[in-house]
C-alpha cells in the first residue's frame, strides 16, 4: 500500500488486545444481589487460608467491553456456520441449533448428578433413549455413555478388553494397530498397559491378511481398526479379520470415528466387531466448540458387558430407571458422574430429528466425497484408488514438483474462503490432502470448493510462490510456530507492557 | 430433511456426474451380505417442535421446584446471560480445534486468556486448556508426577472426592501405579502422621483436595514439606474453584488439578465441565493437553498458536504424554467469559457470599438438638454435620417438603453414615436455608 494513503485504524483491522489489557481498577461487569444473611469477615472465617488481596491481574472491565472483546475475537475464527469445513476425519457437519436450545432447558441443564434418582427420571430416560438408538445404529449389545471423548472411549474399550482377557487368565501383551490409524490409538494402548505393534497396510490401503495371520498370536489382546480407514476406504475383509482374531482368542476393536460413512448402511455388530467407540461430536453433530466438549460412548458385544464402567443404567420394575454402581467385574469409573450429559442430550436431539433418515445423511456424505473426488482426480494425485466412502485422500505429489506442499495448498484454500482439509494425515500418505465434506454441503458449495482446488492446482503450476506464501487475505499471516515452541509464552503477566500488536 | 441441503434433482445430477445409476453403487465396497436391508428402528423423524417437546417433557420428570443442598463436586452458581450469548456465537460454537492458526485466532486468544486466568487463580506458572473434568485432570496430574519421578506409588487422601479416587484407580490399574489412601483426622484434614509413615522414596505423588470432600481446608505448606522431603510431588485437587476467589492459592503444590465447573457451567447432570492442570513452568514439557502460546506472524503482529505439540498424541503417538485429543475448549471459553465478567471484585464478592451463607446455614443447623459439626477445620461453602439419625431417612423426609437434602456421606464413607455434607452457595436464599433448617428439625423430631 502506498505510504501516501493514510489508513484509518479501526478496531476490526487491528489486533484485539487481551482482556487484561483493557482492565482499569473500579470497572465491573457483574453485580451480585445483596447478601441476605449476616456478613462474615472472611479473615475471621478463613484465618491463615484467606487470600489477602484480590486475585492479582484479574481483569476489571465493564459488560459492554466483555461483549465486544469476545464478539471481536469470534470474528477471527472460521466456523461451519460460515462455510465448508472439509477437515478429513473430523466430520464437521452442521450443528443444529435446536440441540443447543434443548440442552439449556431448565430441568435439563439445572440437574445435579447426585439428586435422587426418582427426581432424575427425565435425565435417565434421555440416556436410555440414546443408548437404544446407538445400539440400533451400531448393532451392538450393550453400551456405556460415560467416556468424555473419543480417546477416552478408546481407553475404555481397551480396559474392557483387558478385563475380559484377565478373567480368562491372561491380559495378553500386545495391541495391533494399522499404520493408518489415528495417533490416539497407540497413545491409548500404552495407557491401557499394552505394547503397540504396527501392522502395515497393503498397496490397496487394506489390512494385509496374510501378514495379519502371522502377527496374531496368543499374545495379541486386540486389533484396533478404523473402518472406513483414515484413507476413507471401507475395510472389506473385516469379517475375515474378525475371524482371524477370534480364532486366537483376540478381540476386534473398531474406532468409530468414521461412523458417518456407515450409519444406516451397515452395522459393525454384524461385521464381527467386539467393541467400538463413537464420537458424538463427529457423526452425531454435537458442536466441536473449538476443541470440545465431545463424548465417546463405547458399544460392546455381550461378552464384554459385565466389565462396563460404573454406573450402568438399568431398568427396574415398572419401567423405572436407575444407575447401578454395584457391578463386581466393572473396570471402574473412567470419569466422574454419568458423562458429558449435555453433549448426550444434543446427540439424541440430532437422532430424533432424523429418525431412520440417518441413512440419507450417510448417503449424502458419501455422495459429496465421491463428487469431489471425481472432479479433482487428475488435478491432484490419488494414491489409493479403491472406492471412497465419506472422505477422499489425495497427495501433493503433482504440486511437489513445483515445490508446493499440502500445507501450502491448505493455506491458499483459506484465501478462497474455505477451511483447509486435513493435512499430512494419514501418515501412510506422504503430503496427504484429506477431504471430508460431510452431508451438510450443497452441490453448489461442493462446486465452489472444486473450483477453488482446481484454481490452486493451476497456481501451483504457474505461480508457486503465490501458494507458498499463502494465506494473503487473513488478518494475521503465517505464524511463527518455531518461535512459539522455542521460548514458550503461555500466559500474560501484569508486568508485560501493553501489546504493540496493533501498531 | 431440513438439515440436508440437496434436492432430489441435485442428488441425481451428482450421481450422474459420477456415472452411477443409484446411490447403492457408492456403497459397493461393503459386501452385499452386510448391508442393512431394512430401515433402522429409530424414533423420529421429529420436527423441531417435536424435538423441543420431547425434551421439555423429560425436563418435567426431573427436580424442578425443589430446593437443593447438594454440592460434593458440582456447584450451582450465578451465571450471567452474557456467557451463553457469547458461547452460542457460531464462530466459537462451530469451529474445530485451532490447528489452522490464521483463521482461529479467536479461539486461540481466548485459550491464552483462559490459561492466564487459571495461573492467576492457582498461583501456578503455567496452565493447560484443558482436561475433560476435575477427575481426569487429577488422574493425569498423577501420571505426570509418575513420569517426572519415575516412581510408582501414589498416596491419595481419603478426603479426595470419591469419584476422583475411583477414576485414579481405574487408570492406575494397568499402568503399574499403586494407589494407597491416607486417612483424615477429627478436624477433617489429612492425617499428617499417617502421611509421614507412608511416605518413602518410592512415592511419586501425594494427592490432596482443598477444600477437601468434607469441605475442610487443608494446610498445604506442611504437606508440601513432607512430600518434598521424600522426593514426591504434591498434587492439589480443587473441585470448588470459586473458593480461590477468597482463599490463598495453592502455591505450595507442584501440580494443581482443578474442576472449573463453578465458572459459568451449569450442573447439567454431570457434564460437560472443564478440567485444568496448572503447574510450575519447569514441568511444562511433561504436561498433558493443549497449550496456546504467543508468537508473531510474518509481519511481526502478535498472534497465538497451539504449541509444544511434541507432547501430544498426534505427533508422538505411543510416546505421547497423554492420549487426550478432544478436550473441553468451549467450556474453557465459558469460564473465560464468566471470569472476565466477574472480574477482580466480582469473584471475591461471590466467594465471600458463599462464606457468609454457609456460616449462616451452619449456625441454624447447630441450634437443632442433636446436630453437630462433624469436623473442626475451616471451610468455604460446604461443611459436614452429624445427625442423630441416618441421613438417608432424613433426606426421604426432606423430599416431602420439596427439599433435596445434603449429600449422604455414608454413600462413599461407611464410617460416616450419620454424616451429611451440606453445601450452600450465593444462589441459596436465606429463606431456603431457613426452610431447610426448619424441615430438618421437623424430620429429626418426627417418629420413625
**CA separation for the pair B271, A108 (Å, rounded):** 11
ipTM confidence: 0.97
Residue B146 lies in a domain: yes
Whether B243 and B210 map to the same domain: the answer is yes
Q: For residues B67-83, give the mean pLDDT.
A: 98
Note the helical H segments in A10-60. 42-46
**Closest to B275 (Cα-Cα) out of A144, A49, A149:** A149
Whether B331 and B369 map to the same domain: the answer is no
Cell of A364: 449424502
Taken in order A209, A296, B316, A481, the sign of the CA dihedral is positive
Cell of A288: 466441536
Task: Tell me the pLDDT tens digit for each residue of A106-117.
Answer: 999 999 999 999
Spatial contact of A102 and A108, defined as CB atoms under 8 Å apart: yes
| Predicted pLDDT at A55 | 93
pLDDT of B320 strictly over 90: no
Taken in order B117, B122, B126, B129, the sign of the CA dihedral is negative
Q: For residues B70-90, give the mean pLDDT.
A: 98
Task: Tell me the pLDDT tens digit for each residue of A187-228.
Answer: 999 989 999 999 998 988 899 999 999 999 999 999 999 999
> What DSSP assignment string belongs to B182-250?
E-B-TTSSB-HHHHHHH--TTEEEEEEESS-TTSBPP-HHHHHHHHHHTTPEEEEEES-GGGGGTBPP-
Note the helical H segments in A319-436. 341-354, 358-376, 397-400, 406-415
Residues of A in contact with B383 (CB under 8 A): none
Whether B262 and B401 map to the same domain: the answer is no
Task: Tell me the pLDDT tens digit for each residue of B181-194.
Answer: 999 999 999 999 99
CATH number of the CATH domain containing B266 = 3.40.640.10
Whether B211 and B322 map to the same domain: the answer is yes
pLDDT of B89 strictly over 90: yes
**CA separation for the pair B363, A366 (Å, rounded):** 65
- Integer CA distances (angstroms), A164 to A171, A225, A307, in order: 8, 19, 7
Chain A to chain B, count of Cβ pairs less than 8 Å apart? Answer: 683
> Distance (Å) from the C-alpha of residue A465 to the closest C-alpha of chain B?
15
| Long-range CB contact pairs, B311-316, < 8 A, 24+ | B311/B285, B311/B286, B311/B287, B312/A183, B313/A151, B313/A183, B313/A184, B313/A186, B313/A187, B314/A182, B314/A183, B314/A184, B314/A425, B315/A183, B316/A183, B316/A187
Domain count, chain B: 2
- Give the nearest chain B residue to A330 (CA atoms): B170
Confidence class of residue A15 from pLDDT cuts 50, 70 and 90? confident
- The whole-chain average pLDDT of chain A stands at 94
Residue B87 lies in a domain: yes
Task: Tell me the pLDDT tens digit for each residue of A428-477.
Answer: 999 999 999 999 999 999 999 999 999 999 999 999 999 999 999 998 99
Residue B37 lies in a domain: no
- Give the nearest chain A residue to B17 (CA atoms): A371
SS3 content of chain B, % helix, strand, coil (to 5): 45, 15, 40
* Domain assignment of residue B391, given as a range: 67-78+343-445
pLDDT of A502 strictly over 50: no
> Distance (Å) from the C-alpha of residue B414 to the closest C-alpha of chain A?
15
Whether B12 and chain A come into contact, CB under 8 Å, resolves to no
- A87: which strand partners? A435
Confidence class of residue B311 from pLDDT cuts 50, 70 and 90? confident
Which residue has 480368562 as its cell numbers?
Answer: A168
Q: For residues B204-218, give the mean pLDDT.
A: 98
Q: Are B51 and A46 inside 8 Å of each other by CB?
A: no
Domains, chain A, with CATH or none: 11-74 (no CATH), 99-356 (3.40.640.10), 357-484 (3.90.1150.10)
Spatial contact of B139 and B115, defined as CB atoms under 8 Å apart: no
Whether B403 and B269 map to the same domain: the answer is no
| Predicted pLDDT at A501 | 45
pLDDT of B393 strictly over 80: yes
pLDDT of A5 strictly over 90: no
Q: Are A485 and B296 inside 8 Å of each other by CB?
A: no
pLDDT of A500 strictly over 50: no
Task: Tell me the pLDDT tens digit for each residue of B98-150.
Answer: 999 999 999 999 999 999 999 999 999 999 999 999 999 999 999 999 999 99
Least confident of A89-103, A184-198, A252-266, B371-385: A184-198
Residue B398 lies in a domain: yes
- A245: Cβ contacts below 8 Å, ≥ 6 apart: A216, A220, A222, A223, A251, A252
| Predicted pLDDT at A180 | 87
Q: pTM, whole model, 2 decimals?
A: 0.97
| Predicted pLDDT at A10 | 54
Q: Which of B109, B163, B352 sits opposite A16 (nearest CB)?
A: B109
A-contacting residues of B 284-313, CB under 8 Å? 284, 290-299, 301-305, 307-310, 312-313
Q: Are B57 and A122 inside 8 Å of each other by CB?
A: yes
Percent of chain A having pLDDT more than 70?
96
Q: Which of A183, A309, A475 sits opposite B317 (nearest CB)?
A: A183
Torsion of CA A365, A370, A376, A382, to 10 degrees: 110
A-contacting residues of B 224-243, CB under 8 Å? none
Q: Are A122 and B60 inside 8 Å of each other by CB?
A: yes
Spatial contact of A335 and B133, defined as CB atoms under 8 Å apart: yes
Phi and psi based region of residue B296 (left: phi greater than 0; alpha: psi -120 to 50; beta: remaining): beta
Q: Are B89 and A57 inside 8 Å of each other by CB?
A: no
Whether B85 and B73 map to the same domain: the answer is no
> Distance (Å) from the C-alpha of residue B438 to the closest C-alpha of chain A?
16
**CA separation for the pair A474, A410 (Å, rounded):** 13
Which of the residues B325, B357, B379, B436 would you substitute to probe the A interface, choosing the one with the greatest number of A C-beta atoms within 10 Å?
B325
Q: Which of B46, B293, B350 sits opposite A353 (nearest CB)?
A: B46
Residues of A in contact with B270 (CB under 8 A): 113, 336-341
Whether B308 and B430 map to the same domain: the answer is no
Residue B10 lies in a domain: no
**Closest to A379 (Cα-Cα) out of A259, A466, A460, A275:** A460
Q: Are A291 and B98 inside 8 Å of each other by CB?
A: yes
Whether B374 and B326 map to the same domain: the answer is no
| Predicted pLDDT at A503 | 37
DSSP state of B317: G
| Predicted pLDDT at A425 | 82
Residue B62 lies in a domain: no
Which residue has 490409524 as its cell numbers?
Answer: A181
Whether B368 and B394 map to the same domain: the answer is yes
Cell of B236: 492439589
Spatial contact of A435 and A369, defined as CB atoms under 8 Å apart: yes
Domain-ending residue, one of B285, B313, B338: B338
Q: For residues A120-129, give the mean pLDDT.
A: 98
Whether B352 and chain A come into contact, CB under 8 Å, resolves to yes
Q: Which of A292, A370, A443 sits opposite B326 (nearest CB)?
A: A292
Q: For residues A404-410, give the mean pLDDT.
A: 97
Task: Tell me the pLDDT tens digit for each residue of B13-26.
Answer: 999 999 999 999 99
Residue B16 lies in a domain: no
- Terminal-residue alpha carbon distance, chain B: 58
Which residue has 447403492 as its cell numbers?
Answer: B24
Whether B97 and B187 map to the same domain: the answer is yes
CATH number of the CATH domain containing B414 = 3.90.1150.10
Domain-ending residue, one of B312, B338, B364: B338
- Integer CA distances (angstroms), A37 to A113, B70, B192, B220, B430, in order: 28, 19, 36, 31, 6
Whether B288 and B363 map to the same domain: the answer is no
**Closest to B115 (Cα-Cα) out of B107, B124, B127, B106:** B127
Domain-ending residue, one of B338, B369, B403: B338
pLDDT of B3 strictly over 80: yes
pLDDT of A423 strictly over 70: yes
Q: Which of A29, A74, A288 sits opposite B106 (nearest CB)?
A: A74
Whether B112 and B169 map to the same domain: the answer is yes
Confidence class of residue B172 from pLDDT cuts 50, 70 and 90? very high
Q: Are B72 and A39 inside 8 Å of each other by CB?
A: no
| Predicted pLDDT at A12 | 56
Residue B12 lies in a domain: no
> Distance (Å) from the C-alpha of residue A368 to the closest C-alpha of chain B?
8
Amino acid at each position: 500500500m502506498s505510504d501516501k494513503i493514510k489508513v484509518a485504524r479501526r478496531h476490526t483491522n487491528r489486533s484485539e488486545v487481551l482482556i487484561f489489557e483493557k482492565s482499569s481498577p473500579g470497572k465491573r461487569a457483574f453485580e451480585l444481589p445483596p447478601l441476605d444473611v449476616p456478613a462474615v469477615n472472611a479473615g475471621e472465617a478463613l484465618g491463615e487460608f484467606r487470600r489477602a488481596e484480590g486475585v492479582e491481574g484479574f481483569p476489571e472491565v465493564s459488560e459492554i467491553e466483555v461483549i465486544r472483546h469476545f464478539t471481536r475475537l469470534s470474528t477471527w475464527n472460521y466456523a461451519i456456520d460460515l462455510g465448508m469445513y472439509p477437515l478429513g476425519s473430523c466430520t464437521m457437519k452442521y450443528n443444529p441449533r435446536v440441540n443447543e436450545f434443548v440442552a439449556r432447558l431448565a430441568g435439563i441443564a439445572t440437574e445435579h448428578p447426585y439428586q435422587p434418582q426418582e427426581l432424575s427420571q427425565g435425565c435417565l430416560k434421555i440416556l436410555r433413549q440414546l443408548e437404544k438408538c446407538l445400539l440400533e445404529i451400531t448393532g451392538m449389545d450393550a453400551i456405556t455413555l460415560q467416556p468424555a471423548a473419543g480417546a477416552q472411549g478408546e481407553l475404555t474399550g481397551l480396559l474392557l478388553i483387558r478385563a475380559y482377557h484377565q478373567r480368562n487368565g491372561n491380559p495378553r501383551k500386545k495391541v495391533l494397530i494399522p499404520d493408518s490409524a489415528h495417533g490416539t490409538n497407540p497413545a491409548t494402548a500404552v495407557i491401557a498397559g499394552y505394547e503397540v505393534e504396527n501392522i502395515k497396510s497393503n498397496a490397496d490401503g487394506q489390512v494385509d491378511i496374510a501378514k495379519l495371520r502371522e502377527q496374531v498370536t496368543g499374545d495379541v489382546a486386540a486389533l484396533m481398526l478404523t473402518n472406513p480407514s483414515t484413507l476413507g476406504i471401507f475395510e472389506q475383509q473385516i469379517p475375515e479379520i474378525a475371524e482371524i482374531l477370534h480364532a486366537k482368542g483376540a478381540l476386534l476393536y473398531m474406532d468409530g470415528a468414521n461412523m458417518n460413512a456407515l450409519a444406516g448402511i451397515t452395522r459393525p455388530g454384524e461385521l464381527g466387531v467386539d467393541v467400538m467407540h463413537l464420537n458424538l461430536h463427529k457423526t452425531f453433530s454435537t458442536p466441536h466448540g473449538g476443541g470440545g466438549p465431545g463424548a465417546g460412548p463405547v458399544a460392546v458385544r455381550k461378552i464384554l458387558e459385565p466389565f462396563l464402567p460404573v454406573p450402568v443404567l438399568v431398568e427396574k420394575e415398572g419401567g423405572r430407571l436407575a444407575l447401578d454402581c454395584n457391578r463386581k467385574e466393572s473396570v471402574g469409573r473412567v470419569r466422574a458422574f454419568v458423562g458429558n450429559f449435555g453433549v448426550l442430550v444434543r446427540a439424541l436431539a440430532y437422532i430424533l430429528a432424523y429418525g431412520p433418515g440417518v441413512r440419507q445423511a450417510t448417503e449424502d456424505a458419501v455422495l459429496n466425497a465421491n463428487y469431489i473426488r471425481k472432479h479433482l482426480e487428475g488435478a491432484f494425485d490419488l494414491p489409493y484408488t479403491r472406492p471412497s466412502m465419506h472422505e477422499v485422500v489425495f497427495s501433493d505429489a503433482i504440486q511437489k514438483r513445483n515445490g508446493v506442499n499440502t500445507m501450502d495448498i491448505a493455506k491458499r484454500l483459506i484465501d478462497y474462503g474455505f477451511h483447509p482439509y486435513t493435512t499430512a494425515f494419514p501418515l501412510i500418505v506422504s503430503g496427504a490432502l484429506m477431504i471430508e465434506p460431510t452431508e451438510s454441503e450443497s452441490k453448489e458449495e461442493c462446486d465452489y470448493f472444486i473450483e477453488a482446488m482446481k484454481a490452486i492446482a493451476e497456481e501451483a503450476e504457474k505461480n508457486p510462490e503465490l501458494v507458498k506464501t499463502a494465506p494473503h487475505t487473513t488478518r494475521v499471516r503465517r505464524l511463527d510456530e518455531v518461535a512459539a515452541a522455542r521460548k514458550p509464552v503461555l500466559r500474560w503477566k501484569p508486568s508485560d507492557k501493553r501489546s504493540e500488536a496493533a501498531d | 430433511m431440513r438439515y440436508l441441503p440437496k434436492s432430489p434433482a441435485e442428488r441425481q445430477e451428482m450421481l450422474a456426474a459420477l456415472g452411477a445409476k443409484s446411490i447403492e453403487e457408492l456403497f459397493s465396497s461393503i459386501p452385499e451380505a452386510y448391508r442393512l436391508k431394512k430401515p433402522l428402528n429409530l424414533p423420529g423423524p421429529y420436527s423441531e417442535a417435536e424435538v423441543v417437546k420431547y425434551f421439555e417433557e423429560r425436563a418435567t420428570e426431573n427436580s424442578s421446584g425443589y430446593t437443593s443442598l447438594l454440592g460434593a463436586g458440582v456447584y450451582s452458581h450465578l451465571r450471567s446471560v452474557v456467557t451463553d450469548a457469547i458461547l452460542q456465537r457460531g464462530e466459537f460454537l462451530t469451529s474445530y480445534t485451532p490447528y489452522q492458526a490464521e483463521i482461529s485466532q479467536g479461539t486461540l486468544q481466548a485459550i491464552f486468556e483462559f490459561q492466564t486466568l487459571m495461573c492467576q487463580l492457582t498461583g501456578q506458572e503455567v496452565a493447560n486448556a484443558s482436561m475433560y473434568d476435575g477427575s481426569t485432570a487429577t488422574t493425569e496430574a498423577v501420571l505426570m508426577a509418575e513420569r517426572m519421578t519415575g516412581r510408582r506409588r501414589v498416596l491419595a487422601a481419603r478426603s479426595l472426592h470419591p469419584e476422583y479416587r475411583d477414576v485414579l484407580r481405574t487408570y492406575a490399574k494397568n499402568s503399574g501405579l499403586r494407589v494407597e489412601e491416607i486417612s483424615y483426622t477429627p478436624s477433617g484434614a489429612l492425617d499428617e502422621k499417617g502421611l509421614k509413615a507412608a511416605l518413602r522414596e518410592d512415592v511419586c505423588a501425594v494427592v490432596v483436595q482443598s477444600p477437601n470432600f468434607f469441605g475442610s481446608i487443608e494446610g498445604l505448606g506442611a504437606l508440601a514439606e513432607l512430600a518434598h522431603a521424600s522426593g514426591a510431588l504434591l498434587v492439589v485437587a480443587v473441585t470448588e474453584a470459586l473458593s480461590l476467589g477468597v482463599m490463598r492459592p495453592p502455591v505450595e503444590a507442584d501440580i494443581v488439578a482443578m474442576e472449573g465447573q463453578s465458572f459459568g457451567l451449569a450442573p447439567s447432570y454431570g457434564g460437560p465441565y472443564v478440567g485444568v492442570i496448572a503447574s510450575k513452568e519447569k514441568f511444562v514439557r511433561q504436561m498433558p493437553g493443549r497449550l496456546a502460546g504467543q508468537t508473531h506472524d510474518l509481519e511481526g503482529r502478535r498472534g497465538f498458536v497451539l504449541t509444544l505439540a511434541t507432547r501430544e498424541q498426534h505427533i508422538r503417538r505411543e510416546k505421547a504424554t497423554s492420549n487426550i485429543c478432544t478436550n473441553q475448549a468451549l467450556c474453557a471459553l465459558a469460564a473465560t467469559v464468566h471470569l472476565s465478567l466477574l472480574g477482580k471484585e466480582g469473584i471475591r464478592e461471590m466467594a465471600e457470599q458463599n462464606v457468609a451463607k454457609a456460616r449462616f446455614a451452619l449456625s441454624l443447623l447447630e441450634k437443632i438438638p442433636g446436630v453437630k459439626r462433624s469436623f473442626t477445620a475451616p471451610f468455604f461453602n460446604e461443611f459436614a454435620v452429624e445427625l442423630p439419625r441416618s441421613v438417608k431417612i432424613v433426606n426421604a423426609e426432606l423430599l416431602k417438603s420439596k427439599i433435596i437434602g445434603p449429600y449422604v456421606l455414608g454413600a462413599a464413607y461407611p464410617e460416616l453414615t450419620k454424616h451429611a455434607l451440606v453445601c450452600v452457595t450465593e444462589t441459596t436464599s436465606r429463606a431456603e436455608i431457613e426452610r431447610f433448617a426448619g424441615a430438618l428439625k421437623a424430620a429429626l423430631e418426627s417418629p420413625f
